[in-house]
Amino acid sequence: MPDQKDRSIPIELKASLTSGSGTWHSTGAPGLVRPFLLADGPHGVRRQRTGGDALGIGDSVPATCFPPGVALGSTWDPELVRRVGAALGQEAAALEVDVLLGPGMNIKRSPLGGRNFEYLSEDPHLTGRLAAAYVEGVQSSGVGACVKHFAVNNQETDRMRVSAEVDQRALREIYLRAFEHVVKAARPAMVMSAYNRINGVPASEDHWLLTRLLREEWGFDGVVVSDWGAVDDRVAALRAGLDLEMPPTGTDGEVVAAVDRGELDESALDAVVDRLRRLEARLGGAKEPASEPELAAIRDRNADLAREAAAQAAVLLTNDGVLPLDRSSLDSVAVIGEFARTPRFQGGGSSRIVPTGVSSALDALTRRLGADVVRFAPGYSVDGSGDDALALAAVEVARAAHVAVVFLGLPEHAESEGFDRTTLDLPADQVSLLERVAAVAPRVVVVLSNGGVVSVAEWRHHANAILEGWLLGQAGGEATADLLLGDRAPSGRLAETIPLRLADHPSYPTFPGADGISVYGESVHVGYRYFDTVDRPVAFPFGHGLTYTRFEYSDLRVVAPAENSWEVTFSVTNTGDRDGREVAQLYVGPAEDQPTRPRAELRGFVALDLRPGETTTVTLPLTATDLQTWDARGQRWTVRPGDYAVHVGASSRDVRLRTTVHSDGDRVLAPLTAQSTIAEWRADPAGRQVLATLLDRVSRSGLASSVAPELVRMFLSIPLDKLRSFGLGVTSATVAELVREADARQAELLAAGAYRRPGAARTHSQETP
């Protein structure tokens, strides 16, 4: 933040720039900075025709509806997501939009999260890689991306007030990690601060979050915008590092008054002006609207990409061989379920856009197979519920068919921004419809439409195959037909675990909290991290997904070109008889189980397109960052010395190859103090040497030889200073002397290269009011 106050610009003018001029525009000042047009995001451009609203109920210009986050997350394909981002950017630019409000990248802490359809994954590595690709794509088209919602915005219940009570490790390792990656790797133009509080502090007024962490530690150089209506206290928000309040609340006068009273430093306003000007330098002048033919060409291209992305997003959960449907022997197909005719393809709330055209699976299948082959029965109505008459009609259609393709899912009203779900179950009428259809149909394929995961345990045995179709955007119908008929092979993988029961989930006892508090009791054990650490059965594990061929893994080798740096090489072979894509996944965790650390965490993945019989060899890097854990006492990332298990496979549970690597840790110099334990002193090379004299004295006193092993262990956990109470002749002077000696010895060893200097993150601690 510049210390110099820029006196040439009136305070009133500067203050006016710190809030918008309307729902979607920032304020401009001629000769100083132009206004920017912002629009939702994330999976389409929601450019409202008039002033507009933030709730998605207004009228917006038709735009390509790409698959929402849940579907893009399941592609595990950063290249595809980058292309989607670039396409969104082009369409946004054509509609004069400067900044697209996406990606949504909060971690799916609970499967009940009402906005899970907008988010990418329960895992920060996958989220970070995909969100970075999205940002790079959007920004390659000259439009800014705005990552949201920063941070720890993992529920809709009480979303504008709730405090996410989360420990530092979970914050750093899970909830902030993907944001950190995107900010550092993709340099988004904007970050949107969340509605909620974090450990009591409103995210939009959190100086630690918005300034110390985001700007000083991570190097963010863009603009922080509030979520729509997130700011309670303008002055506190500006002090914290929030640049732009959206939409405006008419409180710029309060900002001016605070500067006049000396409660807000004017340099905070200068910093906002600087950042807005930097944004202008980055984005250039106001966008020219595209001509109708240009726009039409962009939409045509984007519609094709929306279909490609949708086809890559669906996840084949089970298949006994019924899929792909064999066209040559298909003379009757029962298509059952209203969602085949009236598709669910996006979620509710601010991300809702008006699509340029929607395909239904029923139309797509009928067009390709013929109206004489496809017979349809809705089975239930568009609100998801059914009745006996609808079910009976569906049973009659199924009875006469070779195969029944049954579309099941959640109705619109079951999931949206603004509230969380309360159950994972499909509507009961749909489950009973499936049972009745399965009783008469020779073969049953279930296609699911849902933004958040649904439980499958109670009905999966009725299906010969299950295709998880999520919400696939406007081209989902065509894409579903592509997959069912084998014109494309499924390649999606689960970006979130499907539990057997809601009550199995680690978030179950504490989500969504009560009385304004949501305690993140599971800490870092989010999603598969918990299920795999405690070996709890799941319906389908994280990373799971089938295709129409099989793959074998072989030849795992690891080389270590440098300290704490490895190259993990392995081969994958397509052993089936069709083309297919495998998503090979790399997980790492401590070789010996330590309950405080997840057993294994995703640290790399690669999508491999292989022809039958083809083998490919890939190398994935593994670095110190991948082994790090957050040291809350030392306030820094640390690599603990030890052996680490390296797993390569097709899901978090389907491990095909494994090995271990050893790390000596990061050898970062951590000062030894009177409060460091004897074990910590002994683990440090300087501490070991300095302590030797003291330990000598203890053993000479005859105490050590008579001490039982458990007492030795107890002794190890004692802070040095506490030895004064144990009758060993240790005084405050002895402790101070040992600390001085250790300090000097550490300095010598540091000069000799035995340690690394601590990194910049080290001094950051959570600020609470």
CB-nearer residue toward ligand BGC: 228 or 380: 228
Tokens in use for 688?
């070991």
Residue 151: cis peptide before it, omega within 30 degrees of 0:
yes
With CB under 6 A as the contact rule, the residue among 45, 54, 272, 369 that binds ligand BGC is 54
With CB under 6 A as the contact rule, the residue among 175, 218, 220, 228 that binds ligand BGC is 228
Q: How far is the CB of 53 from ligand BGC (least distance, A)?
A: 8
Q: Which of 516, 578, 569 is nearest to 547 (CA)?
A: 578
Strand stretches in 283-413, DSSP E: 315-319, 333-336, 374-377, 403-409
From 40, 206, 227, 429, the catalytic residue: 227
Cβ-closest position to ligand BGC:
350
Give catalytic status of residue 535 as yes or no.
no
Which residue in the block uniquely carries the two structure tokens 């984005």? Answer: 283
Strand, coil or helix: 602: strand
Side-chain half-sphere of 719: how many Cα atoms within 13 Å? Answer: 8
According to DSSP, the residues that pair with 104 across neighbouring strands are 148
CB-nearer residue toward ligand BGC: 148 or 505: 148
Q: How far is the CB of 99 from ligand BGC (least distance, A)?
A: 10
Which residue in the block uniquely carries the two structure tokens 């920017």? Answer: 36
CB-nearer residue toward ligand BGC: 175 or 228: 228
The identity of residue 653, as a single letter, is: R
CB-nearer residue toward ligand BGC: 48 or 766: 48
x-marked contacts with ligand BGC along 57-96 as a string, rule CB under 6 A: ----------------------------------------
- With left for phi above 0 and alpha for psi between -120 and 50, is residue 214 left, alpha or beta? alpha
CB-nearer residue toward ligand BGC: 228 or 339: 228
Tokens in use for 413?
């009203």
Q: How far is the CB of 242 from ligand BGC (least distance, A)?
A: 15
Q: How far is the C-alpha of 359 from the C-alpha of 382, rounded, in Å? A: 16
CB-nearer residue toward ligand BGC: 41 or 427: 41
Phi/psi of residue 252, nearest 5 degrees: -60, -30
Q: How far is the C-alpha of 708 from the C-alpha of 715, rounded, in Å? A: 10
Tokens in use for 327?
């066209």
Q: How far is the CB of 671 from ligand BGC (least distance, A)?
A: 43
CB-nearer residue toward ligand BGC: 228 or 551: 228
Q: How far is the CB of 378 from ligand BGC (least distance, A)?
A: 33
According to DSSP, the residues that pair with 709 across neighbouring strands are none
According to DSSP, the residues that pair with 46 across neighbouring strands are 40
Q: How far is the CB of 273 from ligand BGC (least distance, A)?
A: 24
State yes or no: residue 148 binds ligand BGC (CB under 6 A). yes
Q: How far is the C-alpha of 14 from the C-alpha of 270, rounded, in Å? A: 7
Q: How far is the CB of 473 from ligand BGC (least distance, A)?
A: 18
With CB under 6 A as the contact rule, the residue among 26, 27, 139, 350 that binds ligand BGC is 350
Q: How far is the C-alpha of 115 from the C-alpha of 155, rounded, in Å? A: 8
Q: How far is the CB of 298 from ligand BGC (least distance, A)?
A: 22
Segment 295-334, which members bind ligand BGC (CB under 6 A)?
none
Could you tell me the CA-to-CA distances from 101 to 28, 83, 98, 137, 398 in Å, in that order?
19, 17, 10, 14, 44
CB-nearer residue toward ligand BGC: 139 or 638: 139
With CB under 6 A as the contact rule, the residue among 77, 227, 496, 666 that binds ligand BGC is 227
Q: Give, in degrees to the nearest 5, the angle at Cα 376 between 375 and 377.
A: 135
Contacts 24+ apart (CB under 8 A), 696-699: 697/728, 697/729, 698/728
With CB under 6 A as the contact rule, the residue among 33, 71, 72, 101 that binds ligand BGC is 101
x-marked contacts with ligand BGC along 177-216 as a string, rule CB under 6 A: ----------------------------------------
CB-nearer residue toward ligand BGC: 146 or 403: 146
Tokens in use for 760?
């910049």
- Contact between 353 and 419 under an 8 Å Cβ cutoff? The reply is no
Give the total of residues touching ligand BGC (CB under 6 A): 8
Q: How far is the C-alpha of 681 from the C-alpha of 672, rounded, in Å? A: 7
Alpha helices in 370-475 (DSSP H): 388-399, 428-440
In sign, the C-alpha dihedral spanning 725, 727, 733, 734 is negative
Segment 702-741, which members bind ligand BGC (CB under 6 A)?
none
Helix axes 476-484, 361-369, angle to 10 degrees: 50
CB-nearer residue toward ligand BGC: 204 or 573: 204
Q: How far is the CB of 758 from ligand BGC (least distance, A)?
A: 37
- Contact between 66 and 87 under an 8 Å Cβ cutoff? The reply is yes
- Please give the residue ranges that form the binding site for ligand BGC (CB under 6 A): 40-41, 54, 101, 148, 227-228, 350
Residues with a known catalytic role: 227
